Chains A and B, each alone.
Chain A
Amino acid sequence: MRNEFEPGAFTHGSVQEPTCPKRTIRSGRTKHTHLRERGEFTVSSIVDVQNVTFSYGEKLALDDVSLTVDEGDFLGLIGPNGSGKTTLLHIMLGLIGPDRGSVELFGQPVEQFDQGERIGYVSQKATSRGGTMPVTVRECVRMGRFAHVGHSRLSDEDRQIAEDALETVDIADLADQRINQLSGGQRQRAYIARAIASEADLLALDEPTVGVDAESRDAFYRLLDSLNESGITIILIEHDIGVVTDRANRIACINTELYHHGDTESFVESEALSEAYGATGTVVHHHH
C-alpha cells in the first residue's frame, strides 16, 4: 500500500471550481462513495463549517468562515502564524464553540456529536506530555481503541487492531519503547498509529512535523498519502506551503478570513496566498 505513492499525485478527479474567498465551495469529489449511514443520518460531508466567527476577548480570530470537507478529501489548512488555523480546527472538532455560526461533523451538529471514534487527532501539543509520561508506544496506540470499548476491557481483536496499526506505520519493533525515547518522527508515527487503530474516518493533524527531520518528514507525508488513498479524510495544518500544495487536493487558506477554499490547482494560480500572507509579511520557502 505504501509503495503506491507517487509524489505530487493530488489529482483525485476534482471538478474545477472558481476561486471564491469567503464563500462555501462544495467539492465535486465522488471518488470515495462508501459513505456510511449512521442512524437516521446520511452523511454528505465530513465537516461543514458555516459562517463561523470567533474571537479571543477583543481579538478577532476567525471572521465569517465557511467551508466543507468531503469524504476522501486531503485538505491543507494554511495561513500565517496567528491566522486562526488551529482555532478553526479546534472549532471543527468541537474542542471550542464558535461565537457565531454552526459546525456539523459527519452530518451531526458538533455539540451533539458522539462518534468520537471516527476522528483521529494529532495535536500540536501531543508530544509534550509524551515527553514526560512513562507510556509505551503500544499503550499509546491502544488508546485508539478506548473510544470503541468504553469501560469494558480491550478484546483480543482490539489488541490485534492496535498491533496492525503499529505494522502499518512501521514501528512494530518499537512497541515496548517509551514514547519519550523515540525520535520526533517515530513519535508522530505512534500518534498516527493511534488514529489508525481507532479506525477513524477523519484524521486531523495540527503541524504534525514540527521538530521532525526532513527525511522522516517525507516518509511521514508518504504515509499520509497512502492513508488518504485508502479513503481516510485528512485535514492538515502545515506551515510549509510546498508540502501542502504537493499533497493536498484541496486548500483552505485563512488569515482570520477565508482567502481561498478550493482545489489545489486553482489555489496555486490564484492570488490568495499573497493576499493572506501579505497582511503579515513573510512566506517561508522550502526547497525539496
Chain B
Amino acid sequence: MSGQDEHATESTHLSEERSQSVKLDPRRAVELLGVTLVGILGALMIGFVALDWLRHYPSLGTLPTTAFEQFLIAGMWADYVLGTNVFQHPFMWRSIATGVLVGIVGPLVGTYLVHRQMALIGETLAHTAFAGVAIGLLVIGLTGFGGSLMFVALLVSVVGALAVQWLTERTSTFGDVPIAIMLTGSFAVGTLLISWGRGHVPVTIDIEDFLFGSMAVVTADGARMMAILSVAVVAIVAVTYKQLLFITFDEQAARVAQLNVSGYNTLLVVMTAVVVVGAMQVLGVILVAGMLVIPVAAASQVARSFRETLYLSILIGQISVLGGFAFAIGSSLPSGGSIIVVAIAFYLVAVAASLLAGRSAAISMH
C-alpha cells in the first residue's frame, strides 16, 4: 500500500513538473503569441471588409464611411513612408484582406487534408471552381443576373465537392482516380464554356487572372464572401476539431466510436471547396492547392504534436501570404506565384531543420 502511495506521489510530482514545463515552454509561448497576432490581423481585415460593405448603407450613419476613409488615409501615410502606391487603394486592401484570411483558413483545413492524404482534392476543387467561374460568366452575360461571380463559383465548387465525395465513397477510398477525372473534367468544361462564351457574351474578366492569381481580381463581393466564409470555417473547425482529428488519425476507430465519419468527411470537403474559391482569387486556380499543402508539410516536419502542426501551419501560411504580397508588390509580379515560392522556402527550411534534428526519416509526407 505504501508502495502505491509512493508511486502515486511520484506520478503527481511528474505530472506537476510536466504541466509546469508546458506552461513555461518558450516555444509554445511564441507559437501562441504568433497565432494570437494572426488572429488579430484576421479580425482587422474582417473589420476592413465589414466597413467596406457597411459604408454603402447610409441608414447606418456616417461612421462606417468615416472609418473607411480614415483607414485609407492611414494607407496613404503608409505609402508615403514606404514609397509605395498600394495601401491607399481599397482594391489592394481587399486583396490583402482576402490573402490574410486565406493564410488562416487554407492551412487550417489543409492540416486535415494533408494528413488524410487528400492533398490534391484542393487542386481538383479549384478546377471545379474555374468551371464555376465560366458558368458564372455565361449566366451573368446571358441573363443579366446581378449576383456575384464568386458566388456562382462557390456554388459550383461545393457541388463539385459533393460529387467528389460521392465518387470516392463509392470507390471505397480517397483514391486518386476519381480526383483526376474530376480535376481534368471540370477544367475541360470550364475552357469549353469560356471559348464558347467569347462568341456570345462580352467577357470582361481576364481569365489569366483566375488561372495564376492577381491582386487586382478581388472584388468587394469576393472579399466579403471570403470574410463571411472564413468566420464560418474557423468556427466549424473550432467546434469539430476533435472529431476531424480522430477521423484523420484513425478513421476505422472513429467509425467504431460511432462518429458520423461520412458526415464529417463531407463537411471537410465542402469547407475545402469554400476555402479554395476564396484562395483562387489571389493564388489562381493552378496554385491554390499550394496554400493547403505547403505550410502543413513544412509544419509537420518540425511540429511535436498535432495542435502544434495546426498552429505552425497557420503561422507559416500567414507569413508566406504577407511575404508573397510584399514580393509581388515590390517586383510587380503575380501574387500567387510569389506566395507559393515563399511557402516553399519555408518548407525547405523546415526540411533542413528536421534533417539536422535527425528525425526526417520518421516523417514521410505523402
Q: Do A and B come from one complex?
A: yes
A36 is an interface residue with CB less than 8 A from chain B: no
Q: Give chain A residues whose Cβ lies under 8 Å from the Cβ of B363.
A: 132, 134, 180
Residue of A nearest to B309 (CB): A134
Q: Give chain B residues whose Cβ lies under 8 Å from the Cβ of A123.
A: 250, 252-253
Q: Give chain A residues whose Cβ lies under 8 Å from the Cβ of B50.
A: none
Most A Cβ at <10 Å: residue of B243, B257, B306 = B257
Chain B proximity of A112: nearest CB distance (Å): 10
Chain B proximity of A263: nearest CB distance (Å): 27
Q: Give chain A residues whose Cβ lies under 8 Å from the Cβ of B366.
A: 132
A95/B255 contact (C-beta < 8 A), A134-B306, A135-B305, A151-B240 known: yes
Chain B proximity of A54: nearest CB distance (Å): 15
Is the Cβ of B252 less than 8 Å from the Cβ of A116?
Answer: no
Is the Cβ of A147 less than 8 Å from the Cβ of B257?
Answer: yes
Chain B proximity of A95: nearest CB distance (Å): 6
A165 to B163, CA, bound (A): 41
A119 is an interface residue with CB less than 8 A from chain B: yes
Is the Cβ of A132 less than 8 Å from the Cβ of B365?
Answer: yes
Interface residues of A in 155-176 (CB under 8 A from B): 163, 167, 172, 175-176
Chain B interface residue count, CB cutoff 8 Å, equals 35
Is the Cβ of A134 less than 8 Å from the Cβ of B243?
Answer: no
Q: Give chain A residues whose Cβ lies under 8 Å from the Cβ of B304.
A: 134, 136, 176, 178
Is the Cβ of A133 less than 8 Å from the Cβ of B255?
Answer: no
Is the Cβ of B308 less than 8 Å from the Cβ of A134?
Answer: yes
Chain B proximity of A128: nearest CB distance (Å): 10
Is the Cβ of B115 less than 8 Å from the Cβ of A121?
Answer: no
Q: Give chain B residues whose Cβ lies under 8 Å from the Cβ of A115.
A: 258
B362 is an interface residue with CB less than 8 A from chain A: yes
A47 is an interface residue with CB less than 8 A from chain B: no
Q: Give chain B residues whose Cβ lies under 8 Å from the Cβ of A114.
A: 258
Interface string of A171-205 (1 = CB under 8 A from B): 01001101011000000000000100010000010
A167/B11 contact (C-beta < 8 A), A146-B243, A180-B362 known: yes
Interface of B is mostly: helix
Is the Cβ of A133 less than 8 Å from the Cβ of B362?
Answer: no
- Contact partner, A116, options B240, B256, B365, Cβ 8 Å: B256
B320 is an interface residue with CB less than 8 A from chain A: no
How many chain A residues sit at the interface, stated as a range, is: 35 or more
Residue of B nearest to A149 (CB): B242
Q: Give chain A residues whose Cβ lies under 8 Å from the Cβ of B239.
A: 151
A113 to B300, CA, bound (A): 36
Is the Cβ of A136 less than 8 Å from the Cβ of B305?
Answer: yes
A93 is an interface residue with CB less than 8 A from chain B: yes
A13 to B41, CA, bound (A): 67
Q: Give chain B residues whose Cβ lies under 8 Å from the Cβ of A125.
A: 252
Residue of A nearest to B256 (CB): A121
Interface of A is mostly: mixed
Is the Cβ of A116 less than 8 Å from the Cβ of B308?
Answer: no
Chain A proximity of B49: nearest CB distance (Å): 28
A167 to B309, CA, bound (A): 26
Interface string of B232-261 (1 = CB under 8 A from A): 000000011011011011101101111100
Is the Cβ of B256 less than 8 Å from the Cβ of A136?
Answer: no
Q: Give chain B residues whose Cβ lies under 8 Å from the Cβ of A119.
A: 256-257
A140 is an interface residue with CB less than 8 A from chain B: yes
Q: Give chain B residues whose Cβ lies under 8 Å from the Cβ of A134.
A: 300, 303-306, 308-309, 363
- Contact partner, A133, options B240, B248, B258, B259, Cβ 8 Å: B248
Residue of B nearest to A119 (CB): B256
Chain B proximity of A57: nearest CB distance (Å): 12
Is the Cβ of A204 less than 8 Å from the Cβ of B256?
Answer: yes
A268 is an interface residue with CB less than 8 A from chain B: no
Residue of B nearest to A194 (CB): B253
Chain B proximity of A133: nearest CB distance (Å): 5
B89 is an interface residue with CB less than 8 A from chain A: no
B364 is an interface residue with CB less than 8 A from chain A: yes
Is the Cβ of A146 less than 8 Å from the Cβ of B242?
Answer: yes
A116 to B258, CA, bound (A): 5
Q: CB within 8 Å of A: which residues of B?
A: 11, 14-15, 18, 115, 239-240, 242-243, 245-246, 248-250, 252-253, 255-259, 300, 303-309, 359, 362-366
Can you list 12 A-B pairs, Cβ within 8 angstroms, ordered by A? Answer: A114-B258, A116-B256, A130-B250, A131-B364, A132-B365, A133-B248, A143-B249, A146-B259, A147-B257, A176-B18, A180-B363, A204-B256
